[in-house]
Amino acid sequence: MADVKDVRAAILGMRGKVPIEEYEIKGAGVIYIHGFTGQEKANWQKECRKKNGEIDSTLVEPLMFQMCVRDAKGKHLYKFADVPKLMELPAAILGEVTDVCMRLSGMGENADEAIVKNLRQVEDGDS
């Protein structure tokens, strides 16, 4: 049985180490989709809210795309300012990439609708 200190150190050693998956977008090329850290997930959830606190479901996929898509060295390919342009991508591309990001982040594939619903429940105090 492992020593508690060893387990604690091993878990803390995982900070910032997220799963990464190479992914090809036909007609564009290869991207690297990174899963979220806990902090990145919290930031994504926060940024999906409008100033009045309501959920902006139009941001769920394009914002996740912006946050997860990187180059081979791990550098973000898009900035937050690019999100309005990313909203104009084909829905199939946004959906495929965000499904991978959600899976890599432990949220499960096709979880965006459930996530929006859960964010609304938290907002309404139903959780």
CATH number at residue 104: 3.30.2220.20
Picking from 27, 31, 19, 18, the residue whose alpha carbon sits closest to that of residue 72 is 31
Is 10 part of a structural domain of the chain?
Answer: no
Residue 105, Cα to own-chain centre: how many angstroms? Answer: 7
Percent of residues in the chain assigned helix, strand, coil, to nearest 5 = 50, 15, 35
pLDDT higher at 66 or 124: 66
The model carries a pTM of 0.79
Mean pLDDT of the chain: 86
pLDDT band for position 50 (cuts 50, 70, 90): confident
How much is the pLDDT for 5?
Answer: 83
Which of the 8 DSSP states describes residue 58? G
Is 5 part of a structural domain of the chain?
Answer: no
Structural domains counted in the chain: 1
Is 67 part of a structural domain of the chain?
Answer: yes
Is 28 part of a structural domain of the chain?
Answer: yes
Domain that holds residue 46: 18-124
Q: Which of 60-69, 84-93, 111-120 has the lowest mean pLDDT?
A: 111-120
Is 60 part of a structural domain of the chain?
Answer: yes
How much is the pLDDT for 15?
Answer: 86
